[in-house]
Homo-oligomer: A and B are copies of this chain.
């Protein structure tokens, strides 16, 4: 029954099976019909009949073995064991596209817009301007220094700001305060949660609402 399965090939398999995983966590998936996807880079996906997220998976570089009625995928300290009761459908996929997707309107796009319009957004012309400025506590999205040597620290979010974004900014801010810099803190995003807005006010951060940039 298992003869047709070639563990070194990309394929899809629809099978009555049961899956066990052991690694960072441990899991069991009860017997049933599941869609198993095997890619040429070692990726393994086990998809159930609902939800986006695979029931089980292995990221790239996993190695698959076939032992009797079992498919075993190993990767570092993570192992998936699929016990096959019945193969319903097996198909090898040829010439599977490996092209990457091209995504726009990301955080980087918004950051680029901010950098290109920094003067009107902040209301002054910085004497120095950095993006992805590295500190020991993470990298600052945009850092603008004015002629009074005040550090304007900008955290950018493409979507709604939650309280986590505020503390991220706070952490960068504290770093610059520790090294004796004067700072001003900004959050720039199209939206903010109510709790985050309270936090912003309390921490004297400045929230600027800027919507997604249209495609250029």
Contacts and interface: CB of A to CB of B under 8 A. Distances in A.
A195 B31 CA distance: 44
Given A33-B93, A97-B34, A167-B171, A136 B50 contact: no
A52 interface: yes
A125 interface: no
A41 interface: yes
A48 B163 contact: no
What is the oligomeric copy number? Answer: 2
A192 to B, nearest CB: 15
- Give the bracket for the number of chain A residues in contact with chain B: 35 or more
B171 A32 contact: no
A91 interface: yes
A47 interface: yes
Given A29-B101, A99-B32, A137-B199, A40 B49 contact: yes
Interface of A: 10, 12, 14, 24-30, 32-35, 37, 39-41, 43, 45, 47-52, 54-60, 89, 91, 93-106, 136-138, 158-159, 163-164, 167-168, 170-171, 195, 198-199, 215
18 contacts: A27-B101, A27-B102, A32-B97, A33-B96, A33-B97, A34-B96, A35-B93, A37-B47, A39-B51, A48-B96, A48-B97, A48-B101, A52-B57, A52-B59, A91-B91, A136-B195, A167-B167, A167-B171
